[in-house]
A and B are shown apart, each in its own frame.
Chain A
Amino acid sequence: MIGHIVRKELLVNLQSMRFLVGLVVSALMMGIVGYVLVEDYATRMQKYIADVAEHRAALAETKVYSMVAVDVDIPPSPLSVFSRGSQNLPTTLHVSPFHVPSLIDEGGASASIGLNGTSSHADNPLLRMFSSIDLGFVISTILSLFAVLLVFDSFSGEREQGTLKLLLTSSAGRVHLLAGKYVGALVTLAIPLTVGFLEVMILWALHPSLSFDAQVWAGVGLVYCASLLFLSSFLAMALFLSLYATESSSCLMYLLLAWVTVSVVIPAGGGYVAEYFRPKGLREIMLSEAKQASAHLSNELERLNYRQKGGWNNAWTDWFGAESILGLTQQEANNRLAYNQKVVPMKLQYAEDRYRVVESYAQGLLSWSRTREDLIRPSLCVDYGNVVQALAGTDLNTFDDLVQKSRLYRDAMMAYLRPKSETSLWFTRIFEYPDMEPTEKNQQYWQSLIEKEGQRAVEKIMSWDRVSSLDLTSMPPPSVNMRGVTERALHALPDGILLFAASVVFIGLSMIRVRHYPLN
């Protein structure tokens, strides 16, 4: 019996004007947004590849161990077409002996306009002021609106036309009728959804530089299922609310108000309310603790009272001026070596201490941001957004995971580097290139260059090209893996369950309510 009702509903829906308009609009929107985001992904992928090459080249040119710095680039997620994620997240994590990557200490993506840029891609930081939309947004606003339009008159309309009585005289009960209408609408909604997904896949297939593995396709499948689940829960909610109105056009109005509340007011307002509860004082604590740690290090260094020739001694890293690397005399280098054995462990310890301070602040903020998410969870659109974000791997959680992994990588790297810090290779190559020991004549020349050209002269003095690069092949290669599709699915599960529960609850409530729906 339900089959008959579903078929009838489906046919009625498919022939209606609203279906046609909705299909065209959603196909158009998903096509445009999909095109733009696929292009955007391709550009970011190119930038990622260029960055990886650039960073690898930079690492290969390292000449002393204290300057080993690995930039771990985060590949863009192909599923970002569905959920763009925060644009403020950095795309590169810096790992070095003196810097432990942490969730909020990377700062790479802040809007900055200067003359030291390295990116070869036109990247206008001001463009970020435009909010960007993704397919998840299109589905959660346009298709949910579509769901409202499909069901708002499913009972009131039949009642107004007098066909409800007729329907109920057949052997089908009210519950069957409800189930039939629900399934019919869901199948109808699945059509524009499928069309949208097909559009994205066609765009992917047509793009000359993109190819994907099975993981990505599995991810797409999961996003599709999540979207269907979201639409089913929204549909159930709309159907339930529609049972409270007896006149079609007023019913439409109530539903639209509900829609605007769920898709606009709760996500925007709730997130904003949480802003009010942003933990106060955490930042001040972090800053004062960080200051303390750096003051401690400075004091310790002061106490050792070591003065490098030229006086330049960077307390927080171990990088010296060019003079220190090639301009050291062998005698000075020997002094430095003895000094380093005391100082380098301190500096490395400082990096760890600083990391702990910053990370505890980050975790405080993260837990606040989770509270905020909980605050807006009553909105189905938010739940859906969370699911897609987790599946696409563009959420904060995935980023945090990457940061943790890069920190583990740093541990492995340090296991390799720590012994090197006790050798002269940590800071100089003068023992290998004794002919570069500064002669009186050299030093005069350098001094005159510095006076004339300031900072630029330093670059000239550092005639790096004469010094061979370090052999870093035995250092563990940078390896930070993105989460696999199963892991991402697991993280998306809680919100998915919420969506499922919402569907079940609303259908159940509708079934109770439909028994009392007035016929006249």
Chain B
Amino acid sequence: MLWTVVKRELLDHLFSLRFSAIFVLTLILMLTSVLVFSARYARQQREYPKRVEAFVDEQGTVNLYSIACNSGATVREVPSPLGFLFAAGERELPDQSVMALHGLNTLWRSTEPGDIMDSSSGTDWTYVVTVLLSFGAGLLTYKSISGERRDGTLTLVLANPVSRATILLGKYLAALLALGTVFIASVLAGVILLEVLGTAQLGGDDWIKLGLFVLLSMIFLSAFVFAGLLCSVFTRGPVLSAVAFLFAWMTLVFVIPNLGGILAGLNGKAQTPLQVRMAAKEIPDRYTLTPAMSGEKVASTMLERESAREQLLLSYFRSLVAQVDLGRNLTRVSPASAFSFAAERIVGGGTFRLTRFVDNAVRYRQGMFQAVIEADKRDPKSQHRYVPYWCGGDHFSALTVDLGPAKEFHDTLPSAKEGFAAAFWDLFLLLMYTIIAFAVAFWRFARQDVAPAPGT
């Protein structure tokens, strides 16, 4: 019986204008986003350097003589081949780190000068799903109950041996299937386009991420389908349910997610840049140098200073991320926020990805530092004293050596498994929202007077 309901509803949807309109719009936006992504990805890949200039010269060798003075080595984030799935806040976040061999200096984003002219938000697939398809969910469902009730067909339907739960479920499944058709067809078209363009090669892990993203989107859409049904069940006529859905949609999709930054700013406590600078200035006082110190002692004290500076930078960075996360936790009451956070994690973007990059940068620096120290130990002419910002003299090796794999920076994206683990709670939350919406809709529908309300 359920399938009869689903089939009827689905056919209704598939031949309706709203379905084609949503289809066309979704397809256009998703394909555009792939096109633009591939142009940008090609550029990013050209610019992504394997060789860390300032540490490693063009022959791939490292000059130990000057390395302690080089504080401008830059490592960059590797561009993600799935950038078309999630790119929204990405362009505002730091994407590179400047370091000396003895410590990270800054995290920043080079001002690609054209960026100041970009005021438009990125249209990635996450955006299409959160804004357009969730709106489509409303369009397909807003009058499914209230419309039938007004037309008087609901009583006819219920005259058949079919339970109310079956009807509600049937309408839900039909709308979800229709949306799924739109979404998955567009995903396929997008993926084919991506393959044809050939700029981004997706590896095995990327396909898993894409699959997870599709699954996640379907769960999100199912929450919105229920939201539409909820509006339809609770209102007298289709017009009112449309109005109710629109306001709910507006609040969930635009208002609450946008409040995140504001809430984070109001509630979270982050150090001011000036405070951090003051803290950095105090470090030398904690590790003081005295004229009586031996050369080794001077070297180790100065290294301690630098490592304290790096620790300060990292803890400052973590406090900033914590502030962002706090704001986001508050916005999770909206499924749209929960969805975009989960998508961000699964795809590997946002602060999740940035934190990973910083970890990678620190690991690279430490590995490189060890390799340099090892190389120096093999030089009998050196006094084996690495002193930050001191170059020349005979306290450190003057050789030019090849350090092997340690000299190259390899940024790795979080794997699909890690992304899924990080997104787990958001997924759980989305499922909860779906279940709650279903429960409330069912509870209400089971008790509803199905006769057309007078005066509508």
Show the binding face of A for B, using Cβ within 8 Å.
17-18, 21-22, 25, 29, 32, 36, 85-90, 103-105, 107, 109-133, 141-142, 145, 149, 153, 248-250, 252-254, 256-257, 260-261, 264-265, 267-269, 271-273, 275-276, 278, 283, 361-362, 365-366, 368-369, 396, 451-456
Judge if B187 is at the interface, Cβ distance under 8 Å: no
Query: Chain B: residues with CB nearer than 8 A to chain A?
Result: 17-18, 21-22, 25, 28-29, 32-33, 35-36, 39-40, 88-90, 92-94, 105-111, 113-123, 127, 131-132, 135, 139, 143, 147, 238-240, 242-244, 246-247, 250-251, 254-255, 257-262, 264-265, 268-274, 276-277, 280, 284, 289, 291, 298, 302, 309, 312-313, 316-317, 320-321, 323-324, 327, 350-351, 354, 388-390
Complex-state Cα separation, A113 to B314, whole angstroms: 10
Identity of the chain A residue whose Cβ is nearest the Cβ of B89 in the assembled complex = A129
A268-B123 contact in complex given A124-B320, A126-B93, A260-B25, C-beta closer than 8 Å:
yes
B-side contacts of A369, CB under 8 Å: 114, 117
Asked if residues A130 and B243 are in contact (CB atoms below 8 Å), the reply is no
**Are A396 and B117 touching (Cβ within 8 A)?**
yes
- Select A132's contact among B33, B118, B261, B316, beta carbons within 8 Å: B261
Asked if B92 and A111 make an inter-chain contact with CB atoms under 8 angstroms apart, the answer reads: yes
A453 to B276, CA, bound (A): 21
Q: A18-B243, A117-B277, A249-B147 are in contact. Are A25 and B250 (CB under 8 A)?
A: yes
In angstroms, Cα B94 to Cα A120, docked, is 21
Query: Shortest beta-carbon distance, B353 to chain A, in Å?
Result: 11
Kindly list chain A residues whose C-beta atoms are within 8 Å of the C-beta of B254. Answer: 133, 141
A-B contact pairs, 6 of them (CB 8 A): A36-B262, A86-B117, A117-B276, A126-B354, A249-B239, A257-B21
- CB of B139 within 8 A of CB of A253, answer yes
A239 → chain B closest CB, angstroms: 17
* A-B pairs under 8 A by CB, number: 250
Tell me the nearest residue of chain A to B119, going by C-beta.
A86
Once the chains bind, are B18 and A253 in contact (CB under 8 Å)? yes
**Residues of A with C-beta under 8 A to B28:** 265, 269
| A315–B268 alpha-carbon span in the complex (Å) | 45
Give me 14 other A-B pairs in contact (C-beta within 8 A), A18-B239, A118-B273, A249-B239 excluded: A89-B116, A109-B111, A109-B116, A111-B93, A112-B109, A115-B309, A122-B271, A129-B324, A256-B246, A257-B139, A264-B131, A264-B132, A272-B32, A456-B284
Question: Is the CB–CB distance between A114 and B313 below 8 Å?
Answer: yes
**A110, A129, A267, A273 — most chain B CB neighbours (10 Å):** A129
**B317: min CB distance to chain A, Å:** 6
- For residue A248, which residues in chain B have a CB less than 8 angstroms away from its CB? 239
Interface residues of B, dominant DSSP: helix
Q: How far, in Å, is B88 (CB) from chain A's closest CB?
A: 7
Q: Report B-chain residues with C-beta under 8 Å of the C-beta of A253.
A: 17-18, 139
Q: Are A129 and B108 neighbours in the complex by a CB distance under 8 Å?
A: no
CB <8 Å contact, B18 and A110? no
Q: Which residues of B contact A124 (CB under 8 A)?
A: 264-265, 268, 270, 320, 323-324
B321 — which chain A residues lie within 8 A by C-beta? 126
Q: How far is the CB of B388 from chain A (nearest CB, A)?
A: 8
Within the complex, the shortest CB–CB distance from A496 to chain B, in Å, comes to: 19
- Contact at A114–B389, with CB atoms within 8 Å? no
Q: Quick check: A361 and B113 within 8 Å, CB to CB?
A: yes
Question: Which residues on A sit within 8 Å (CB–CB) of B280?
Answer: 115-116
Q: Which residues of B contact A452 (CB under 8 A)?
A: 289, 291, 298
Q: A131 near B108 (CB under 8 angstroms)? A: no
- Cβ-neighbour of A85 out of B32, B119, B122 (below 8 A): B119
Give Cα A265–Cα B251 distance, bound, in whole angstroms: 19
The listed residue with most A CB atoms (<10 A of its CB), out of B111, B119, B264, is B119
Do A131 and B289 contact each other (CB < 8 Å), given the known contacts A113-B94, A114-B108? no
- The smallest beta-carbon distance between B306 and chain A, in angstroms, is 11
Closest to A276 in B: B36
Q: A272 with B123: in contact, given A110-B109, A248-B239, A265-B28 (CB under 8 Å)? A: yes
Q: In the complex, what distance in Å separates the CA atom of A88 from the CA atom of B88?
A: 15
Assess the B273–A268 pair: CB atoms within 8 A. no
In the bound complex, do residue B117 and residue A365 qualify as a contact, i.e. CB atoms below 8 Å apart?
yes
A107 to B108, CA, bound (A): 11
Shortest CB-to-CB span from B276 to chain A, Å, is: 6
Residues of the B chain whose Cβ atoms lie less than 8 Å from the Cβ of A132:
258, 261-262
B118 contacts across to A, CB distance below 8 A: 86, 88
A116–B36 alpha-carbon span in the complex (Å) = 36
A160 to B139, CA, bound (A): 22
CB pair A269–B123 under 8 Å, yes or no, is yes
Shortest Cβ distance from B144 into chain A, in angstroms?
12
Q: Is the CB of B120 within 8 A of A119?
A: no
> A119 touching B243 by the CB < 8 A rule?
no
Complex alpha-carbon distance, A283 and B47, angstroms: 13
Determine if A111 and B94 form an interchain contact, defined as CB atoms under 8 angstroms apart.
yes
How many whole Å from A387's CB to the nearest CB in chain B?
A: 15
Whole-angstrom distance between the Cβ of A254 and the nearest chain B Cβ:
7
Residues of A within 8 A of B110 (CB): 110
CB nearest to A399 among chain B residues: B116
Q: CA of A195 to CA of B49 in the docked complex: distance in angstroms? A: 55
- How far, in angstroms, from A118 to B272 measured CA to CA in the complex? 9
Knowing A272-B33, A365-B113 are in contact, say whether A249-B143 is a contact too (CB < 8 A): yes
Residues in chain B near residue A125, CB distance under 8 A: 92, 94, 320
The 7 residue pairs across chains A and B that have the minimum distance between CB atoms: A117-B273, A129-B89, A130-B261, A271-B120, A104-B113, A114-B106, A112-B108
Complex Cα–Cα for A119 and B147 (A): 58
Shortest Cβ gap from A371 to chain B (Å): 11
Complex partner residue of B273 from A25, A89, A123, CB under 8 angstroms: A123
B120 touches A267 (CB 8 A): yes
- CB pair A21 B243 closer than 8 Å: yes
Residues of A within 8 A of B258 (CB): 130-133
Using Cβ atoms and an 8 Å threshold, which residues of chain A touch B247? 21, 25
What A residues does B350 contact at CB under 8 A? 129
